[in-house]
Structure 1
Amino acid sequence: MIIDRLSNAKMYTGIHPRLAEGLKYLMETDFHSVEPGKYEIEGSHIFALVQEYETSHPDQGRWESHYRYTDIQYMFSGEERMGYANKGHMSVKKRDEDKDIMFLEGTGDLLNVHEGAFCIFTPNDVHMPTIMINEPRKVKKVVIKVLMD
């Protein structure tokens, strides 16, 4: 798991060529006028999910991880709390390989992700997004899905 400001994204472009493309997309796109939806960057290899929602109580959060995709979760506006844990410290509750998601049980750490920050979650990183900080707030987040084959 990596958390940093988008202004520092160039430091991470050497990890994987597709991660570099995803970070480049975030750095070069003005999301003020981008509507929620799915946007292809490199077909099914890299795509963006632009989301607007209200953060929720921690009791409504779910631990999740993926099989093939790494997430770059960029907080364009607002802030939320995200959970993090290593997959090895969790137990699988439900699997759906076709949708590239599994839900897990266990405990992890919570961190605050503020406007302008991004997190990278690899398939080994269990995460719990969309959690409120103090009270529910509207956020606009961009999730870049990067196929790691």
Structure 2
Amino acid sequence: MIIDKLSNAKLYYGVHPRIQKGLEYLIEHDLNSMAPGKYEIDGLHLYVLIEEYETMPKEQGRWESHRKYADIQYMISGQESMGYSTIEGMNLIERHEEKDHFYFEGSGDLLLVKQGSFAIFLPKEAHMPQISDSTPQSIKKAVVKILID
């Protein structure tokens, strides 16, 4: 897991070529003006989801992980807490292999991701997004999905 401001994105270009392309996309596009939806960058290898929603209490959150995709979760507006944990020691409770979604029960740490910042979750790292830091708030977020092969 990596957490930082988008202004420091170049520090992480060496992690994976598609992570670099995803970070460059976030820097080069006017994300505020983009409507919610899916935008292809490189087919199923690299795409971005623009999301708008209300954050929720931690008790309503779900631990998730992916096996094929990494996520860059970038806060366009607002802020939210995101849970992080390794999947070791967590209990797999639901799997959707065709969508690359795996859900777990367990515990981990919550980290505050503020507007202008991003978190990168690699395959097999559990994360719990959309958590309110104190009270629910409306946010806008870009989630870059990166096939790691």
Q: Same fold (TM over 0.5)?
A: yes
Question: What is the TM-score of this pair, normalised by structure 1?
Answer: 0.98
The answer on 1:67 being equivalent to 2:32 is: no
What CA deviation, in whole Å up to 9, does each residue of 1:93-139 have, x standing for no partner? 11111010000011000011100000000112100000001101000
What does residue 32 of structure 2 align with?
Answer: 32
Give runs of aligned pairs for residues 1-149 of structure 1, distance below 5 A: 1-149=1-149
Distance of 1:62 and 1:108 partners within structure 2: 11
Structure 1 residues not aligned, in runs of 5+:
none
| 2:88 partner SS | helix
* Count of residues paired in the alignment: 149
Displacement, 1:25? Answer: 0.2
Displacement, 1:42? Answer: 0.3
Distance of 1:19 and 1:57 partners within structure 2: 30
Distance of 2:10 and 2:89 partners within structure 1: 31
Displacement, 1:88? Answer: 1.2
| Letter aligned with residue 121 of structure 1 | F
Distance of 1:123 and 1:141 partners within structure 2: 20
Following TM superposition, where does structure 1 have runs of at least 4 consecutive aligned residues deviating by more than 2 angstroms?
none
Distance of 1:12 and 1:102 partners within structure 2: 26
Displacement, 1:89? Answer: 2.7
Structure 2 residues not aligned, in runs of 5+:
none
Give the RMSD, CA atoms, in angstroms. Answer: 0.6
